[in-house]
A and B are shown apart, each in its own frame.
Chain A
Amino acid sequence: MDSSKDKGDLGEQAAVEYLIKNGYSILQRNFRTRYGEIDIIGRDEDYIAFIEVKTRKNNEFGLPCEAVTKNKQNKIIRMAMMYISQKRLYGLNFRFDVIETIISNDKIRYLRLIKNAFDADSII
């Protein structure tokens, strides 16, 4: 039986490979803060993208991207603000992306990148 952690790691690895293939450069993985962590921070041309990876073993409980709820979004936004502040990145363009994957039997069945999946309005 795959453990959830393994599946998660597999999913993240697949995500990273996919992003690199699509022209992103990876700036940081697993940026840890007291709210949680941001899975991947990458650079796509003019934008710095904060990417959340969601892995599931099937679609039974909905699409994986639907797990990125308002609450989760708010957390990610807060963490992003911390990153920006820490690295002093004011004045750059930012974006929130989501990668959803479905993995079963250690194989990647499905992977989708959603660029600009949500914006920072909810915080305000």
Chain B
Amino acid sequence: MISKVYTCAVTGINGLIIEVETDISNGLPGFTIVGLPDAAIRESKERVRTSIKNSNYDYPLKKITVNLAPADIKKEGPCYDLPIAVSILHASGQIISDDIDEYLILGELSLDGRVKPVNGVLCMVADGVKNGYRKIIVPFKNANEAAIIKDAEVYPVSSLKETIDVLERNNDIEPYELMEDDINKISREYDDFIDIKGQENAKRAFEIAAAGGHNILMIGPPGSGKTMLARRLPGILPDLTFDEAIEITKIYSITGKLGMSGSIINTRPFRSPHHTISKISLVGGGRIPHPGEVSLSHYGVLFLDELPEFQRDALEVLRQPMEDGVVSISRVNGAVTFPCSFMLVASMNPCPCGFFNDPVKECTCTPTAIKKYLSKISGPLLDRIDIHIEVSPVKYDELEKESKGESSSQIKERVNKARKLQLKRYERSNILCNAQLTAGMIKKYCHIDESGRKILKAAFEKLGLSARAYNKILKISRTIADLNGEENISAENIGEAVQYRSMDRKYWER
């Protein structure tokens, strides 16, 4: 008899329905798995065989053929153990179930028949439900993750025997209900801007960055507080929507970073990789495609501290994902895409010793050394960072001051208002914030009046700004106007925006 049982594979963050077909016939005894299984699945045979025996079922001494369809997609990972075992038991008549083909069955098996958790369950359940499979059997430790999907009927199991009980309805098992308290929301407390003394210019720049989704680069000597500022950015970004949280959770699910009973990640990720990171770890890839740091900061912040210290090719491969918001990893059999809509925050010293242009300390670098250092950041990369600010060390008087600055929640309120304006304005286009404006859209949405044009012209001539800077200044002034709740961009807005692009000349002479 042939048995068909259904399970799920994950490509990127999408789940794909896989059919596990088992045929048991007379002939020389053997167990073959076909359908492009990888090494982990070929090892399944041993786990499946022993689990069946140790669960007190009969392992058929016949010719067992298991096919994982569709046959042209590579199957990877140990999550097929359970569906294969179930399929064999069903084909040999040891499981009686007339709706076995309505279930999705996921799980790895250990030798004694226990079901172990797998990665990517959230992606599998989400797409499984979309494809019409509402009844899903998952490993016990993945239950909280699976149950987040509202329409799914989740049956958590901890052994092969329990799985059979569910399929045969032996104990009238109810689907798993996720209680409010159980939803293990993985929240992080973000550091608060109230901790930062002084640095009003920098705080303002971060507020603008948050409001418009602009990438930001900080240049300053060591110890001026660049890292402190960066860490506080996620705390002033708007709250995640449910769909955004699910997308982030899917990415963490497939990398196994969700933790034992985690269900949903509902705060924006903050990733700060060390500058020795390889380009594959940064952007994604590997023999079995894995998401990189850019995807792990999806809908969050990627902080690259000491930007010039990063490998050149690592920085080069950043450009496309920053532009597209997705990473596409090509393999011979097709491409795998991971989303990566992140905000980039970068920091750097102005020169190798760190004190170029410092008001107090002497810079000990030669002009060539400075030029070489700064040229590690390519033009095209700079092009994708809208806001540049200088961060100088805080003066002693400021450090001593008792009076506190604004808290993150106060700043966040203004950011939220500005974001709402943008959502409304771009309702019919397919962007969400000012940072995403293309050159064509800038003309439409960033209209400036005569006085504004005058200021812009003066700035260009006096400061020697480049064409690159022109569009950036318009975008930033659009955000500044939004922060004021104004539809029209005033000359003052432009004046302020110019500050954030005036360093091109000073540091890069462009």
Footprint of B on A, CB under 8 Å?
Answer: 47, 77, 80-81, 84, 90-96, 116, 119-121, 123-124
Taking CB atoms and an 8 Å cut-off, the chain B residues in 45-84 that contact chain A are 45, 61-63
- Which residues of B are found within 8 Å of A123, using beta-carbon distances? 28, 30
Expressed in whole angstroms, the minimum distance between the Cβ of A89 and any Cβ of chain B is 10
* Contact, CB under 8 Å: B30 / A120: yes
**Distance in angstroms between the alpha carbons of A94 and B27 in the assembled complex:** 6
Which chain B residues lie closer than 8 Å to A91 at the CB level?
A: 26-27
Contact B26 A95 (CB under 8 A): no
Q: How far is A84 from B28 in the complex, measured between Cα atoms in Å? A: 10
Report whether B26 and A119 are in contact in the complex, using a CB–CB cutoff of 8 Å: no
A81 to B210 alpha-carbon distance, docked (Å): 73
In the bound complex, CA of A96 to CA of B62 (Å): 11
A121 adjacent to B31 (CB under 8 Å): yes
> Which of chain A's residues has its CB closest to B62's CB?
A93
Asked if B485 is an interface residue, CB under 8 A from chain A, the answer is no
B256 CB to nearest chain A CB (Å)? 31
Quick one: which of B5-48 are within 8 Å of A by CB? 26-32, 45
8 A-B pairs (CB sep. < 8 Å): A93-B26, A93-B27, A93-B62, A119-B31, A120-B63, A121-B32, A124-B30, A124-B32
Complex Cα gap A119–B30 (Å): 5
Shortest beta-carbon contacts, A-B, top 4: A120-B28, A120-B30, A119-B29, A121-B30
A120 to B32, CA, bound (A): 10
Contacts of A124 in B (CB 8 A): 30, 32
* Shortest Cβ distance from residue B104 to the other chain A in the assembled complex, whole angstroms: 29
Q: In the complex, which residue of chain A has the Cβ closest to the Cβ of B59?
A: A116
Question: What is the CB-to-nearest-CB distance from A71 to chain B, in angstroms, rounded to a whole number?
Answer: 17
Find out whether the CB atom of A94 lies under 8 angstroms from the CB atom of B32.
no
Q: Secondary structure of the A side of the interface?
A: mixed
Could you give, for residues 393-437 of chain B, a 1 whenever the CB lies within 8 Å of some chain A CB and a 0 otherwise? 000000000000000000000000000000000000000000000
Residue of A nearest to B29 (CB): A119
Q: Which residues of A contact B45 (CB under 8 A)?
A: 121
B contact residues around A93 at 8 Å (CB): 26-27, 61-62
CA distance A94 to B30 in the complex (A): 10
Q: How far apart sit A119 and B28, CA to CA, in the bound complex (Å)? A: 7
Residues of A within 8 A of B61 (CB): 47, 93, 95, 116, 119
Scoring B27, B28, B30, B63 by chain A CB atoms within 10 A of each residue's CB, the highest score goes to B28
Nearest CB in chain B: distance from A123 CB, A: 8
Separation of A123 and B27 alpha carbons in the complex (Å)? 14
Please state if B32 and A92 are interface contacts (CB–CB under 8 Å). no
Question: Among the interface residues A90, A91, A121, A123, which one has the most CB atoms of the partner chain B within 10 A?
Answer: A121
Give chain B nearest CB distance to A38 CB in angstroms: 13
Among A81, A84, A90, A96, the residue within 8 A (CB) of B29 is A96
Closest-CB distance, B67 to chain A (whole angstroms): 14
Residues of B within 8 A of A81 (CB): 28
Q: Given the known inter-chain contacts A47-B61, A93-B61, A93-B62, please indicate yes or no for A77 contacting B28, CB distance below 8 A.
A: yes
Q: Chain B residues near A116: list those with CB within 8 A.
A: 29, 61
In the complex, residue of chain A having the shortest beta-carbon distance to the beta carbon of B30: A120
Interface string of B195-225 (1 = CB under 8 A from A): 0000000000000000000000000000000
User: A78 → chain B, closest Cβ, in Å?
Assistant: 11
- Indicate if the CB atoms of B26 and A80 lie closer than 8 Å: no
Contacts of B30 in A (CB 8 A): 119-121, 123-124
CB distance from A84 to the nearest CB of B (A): 8
Closest partner residue, chain A, to B28 (CB atom): A120
Assuming A81-B28, A92-B26, A93-B61, what are 20 further A-B pairs, CB within 8 angstroms?
A: A47-B61, A77-B28, A80-B28, A84-B28, A90-B27, A91-B27, A93-B26, A93-B27, A93-B62, A94-B27, A94-B28, A116-B29, A119-B28, A119-B30, A119-B31, A119-B61, A120-B29, A121-B45, A123-B28, A124-B30
Collect the chain A residues with CB atoms within 8 Å of residue B31's CB. Answer: 119, 121
Closest to A96 in B: B29
Q: With A and B bound together, what is the CA distance between A77 and B63 in angstroms? A: 14
Determine the distance from Cα of A96 to Cα of B32 in the docked complex, in whole angstroms: 17
Residue in B closest to A92 when the chains form the complex, CB atoms: B26
- Chain B residues within 8 Å of A80, by CB: 28
Residues of A within 8 A of B62 (CB): 93
Complex-state Cα separation, A95 to B31, whole angstroms: 13
The docked-state distance in angstroms from the alpha carbon of A93 to that of B61 is 8
Contacts of B28 in A (CB 8 A): 77, 80-81, 84, 94, 119-120, 123
Q: Shortest distance in angstroms between A24's beta carbon and chain B's nearest beta carbon?
A: 15
Bound: A92/B62 CA distance, A: 10
Shortest distance between the CB of B264 and any CB in chain A (Å): 43
A93 to B92, CA, bound (A): 14
A123 CA to B28 CA in the complex, in Å? Answer: 11
- Give complex CA distance A81, B63 in Å: 14
